[in-house]
Chains A and B, each alone.
Chain A
Amino acid sequence: MRADLDIIRNWIAPGSRVLDLGCGDGSLLRYLQDNLQTIGTGLEIDETKINACLAKGISVIQQDLNKGLQNFESQSFDTVLLTQTLQAVHFPDLLVEEMLRIGKNCIVTFPNFGNWRARLHLAVKGRMPVSEYIPYEWYNTPNIHFCTVRDFDVFCHDKNINVISRTVVDYKHRDSWFIRAAPNLLSEIAIYHFSRAPAR
C-alpha cells in the first residue's frame, strides 16, 4: 500500500464524494472506497490506466485536465484530489482554482523541488536534477511546473487559500520529526489539505 494513502485517508470523511484528478490505475479511489465507503470518480487520459480503473470497478472518465473541468458542477464533491500531477499540468493555478470551485476541500501532493538533493544536484553538477523518484531528463519530462514547499505556501497565501493541514514526507511517504524541522529542504513530497479561505 502506498504510504500517502494512509495520510490522505485521515482527511476524508467516510461516505463522502471524492473526485481524483489524474487517478492513474484507480488504487487511491479503490482504497478510499473499501476503507471509507466513499463515492469516487476518477479522471484519467491514459488508456491502460483507464482500463485498470474499470477492472477495479472504479468510475473513470477519460478527460484531459489541461482542457478544463467545466463539466463539473460547483461544490459537487466533498474532496477533490490531485496526487503527483500538479507539476505536469499546463496551468496549475487555474486547475487549483477549479478544484476549489468543485470541491468543498482539496488535497494536493507534489514533489518538492526545494529538496536538498535537487538543490545539490543543480549546485554541484550544474544540471537539472534527476533522481530515482523523478527519473526524467529536462527534454522528456512530463513535469513542467516544478515548485517547492515554500513556493506553494506563497501561492496559497496569494490565492487566498486556507491550508487546513500540511504534511511533508520523503519519497517513500515516510514522515519524521527530522523532515518537519526543515520541510522545504528535507521533504521530497508535500501533501496539502486546503479549502477556499473566506474572502479577505
Chain B
Amino acid sequence: MPDTLPENSVGIVTPELYRFEEPLTLRSGKVLKAYDLMVETYGTLNADGSNAILICHALSGDHHAAGYHSMDDKKPGWWDVCIGPGKPIDTTHFFVVCLNNLGGCAGSTGPASINPDTGTWYGPDFPVVTVRDWVNSQARLADRLGIQQWAAVVGGSLGGMQVMRWSISYPERVRHAVMLAVAPKLSAQNIAFNEVARQSITADPEFHAGRYREHEVLPKKGLMLARMVGHITYLSDSAMREKFGKVSDELKQASLNLGRDLRAGKLSFGFDVDFQVESYLHYQGERFSETFDANTYLLMTKALDYFDPSVDYDGDLSRAFANSNCRFLLMSFSTDWRFPPERTREIVTALLKAGKQVSYLEVEADQGHDAFLLPVPRYMQALTTYMNVVKDEVGA
C-alpha cells in the first residue's frame, strides 16, 4: 500500500458483523438456527433507500470488495477496479453492499465457526448451502439495512448466479440484474474440474474428514492443488502465454515460446519446477492455502455444481424468469473457457423467450474467466454507461 490512498478509492473501510437470530431453513431441509454475516458497505444510503447496490462475490471472494482495511494492506478489495468514486459503480452516488456468504471463511458463519450445539468447529458438519440459501440470507440483510429494492444486484461467475437467483426469487426487490461471466448452470466439464479440486482436498492426509482443526493441522497441500486446478480454468491460453512468455519480439512473432519461459534459464532434468507457470501456480496455490478454509472451498464448489434455477421448471430456464421484473445486463468474455460466451447467451435466449428486457455484450478480452475482475476498457465503459442510467433512474 502506498503512503496515500488513491483518489478514486473508497479509502479505509471497516467490515461490520451482523447477527441474525431468526432460523434459516436451507434448501437441503437443514436449519441454521442463527448466523453471522460479515458485511462491508461503501457510500451512503439515500433517504428513500433507492440507491443501494448489492455485490455478490464469486467462489473465493468475500465481503472485502473495495478499499483498504489498513494502510499496511498490499492490495485493495477484490473488485476495487469497479467500485469507488468515479468508478463504474460510483460510490459518490450509490450505497454499495458486499457480504461474505454463509459457509464462507472471512467472518460469516461457516465451517470454521464454532457450532453452538457442540462447542467445537462446525467443520464438515456445516450444512451444504446453495445459491438460493445465500440469496435468502442476503434478503434478510437487505431488510436489516432498510433496503426494500436494490437499484442493482451485480456479480460475476458464481456471483452472477446469485444475481440470477435474486431476479427469480425476489422479482420485486431488484431493479437491475447485472451478470458477468456467468452460465445458467455448470457443464459436466465444470463439475469435473470441481471434483478434481474436492478430491485434492479430501485426499490430503491432513484433511481428517474435515476435522483438521481438531487435529491442529490444515490440509494445505490439498487446498493448494485445488486452487491450482481452479486457477488454470480462470486463465486463458493467451493470458498464460502473455504472463509466462518472453516479450522478445522475435519469439512473439514466431509464437514459438507458448509461454514456456524457464524459471532458472535451463532445464533441471528432474521433477522440480522448471517453468515459470509452475512456480506461479505453486505460489498462488500456497498463498491461497494459507488464508482460505478447505471446508469452505468444498462448500463453494458444491453450491456451483448444484446451481440450476431451471430444475423447478422442467428444465425450461425461461419459465424460471416468468415473474422477473428487472432489466438485465449480461456480459461475457471472448477467451473465457470456464463460462464461455455461448453459455451466457443461453441465459440471454431464455430471457428473450420470457419477454424480458435484456442487454448483452460479448467483450473481446484475452484474460479468460478472470477478465470480469480486470479493467478491460470496453467492459468498464459499458458497465459505467449502464450504471449511469441506473443512477439517473433511481435519482441517486
A residues contacting B by CB (< 8 A) are 17, 39, 41, 47, 50-51, 53-55, 57, 59-63, 71-73, 76
Contacts and interface: CB of A to CB of B under 8 A. Distances in A.
B75 interface: no
Contacts of A71: 345, 348-349, 352
A41 B351 CA distance: 12
Interface range for B? 20 to 34
B78 interface: no
B358 A59 contact: yes
Contacts of A39: 357
A47 B378 contact: yes
B352 A76 contact: yes
A50 B352 contact: no
B359 interface: yes
B361 A50 contact: yes
A50 B329 CA distance: 12
B362 interface: yes
B386 to A, nearest CB: 5
| Interface class of chain A by DSSP | mixed
Interface in B364-385: 378, 381-382, 385
Given A51-B381, A51-B382, A54-B386, A41 B357 contact: yes
Interface in B32-77: none
A53 B393 CA distance: 16
Contacts of B352: 41, 61, 71-73, 76
| Interface class of chain B by DSSP | helix
A61 to B, nearest CB: 5
Contacts of B381: 51
Contacts of B329: 54
A57 B390 CA distance: 9
Contacts of B254: none
B280 to A, nearest CB: 32
Given A50-B382, A51-B385, A55-B389, A62 B361 contact: yes
Contact of A59 (B359, B388, B393): B359
B327 interface: yes
A71 B329 CA distance: 17
B318 to A, nearest CB: 9
A61 B357 contact: no
A142 B153 CA distance: 40
B359 A73 contact: no
B146 interface: no
Contact of B359 (A47, A61, A76): A61
B357 A54 contact: no
A54 B378 contact: no
Contacts of B378: 47
B360 interface: yes
B34 to A, nearest CB: 42
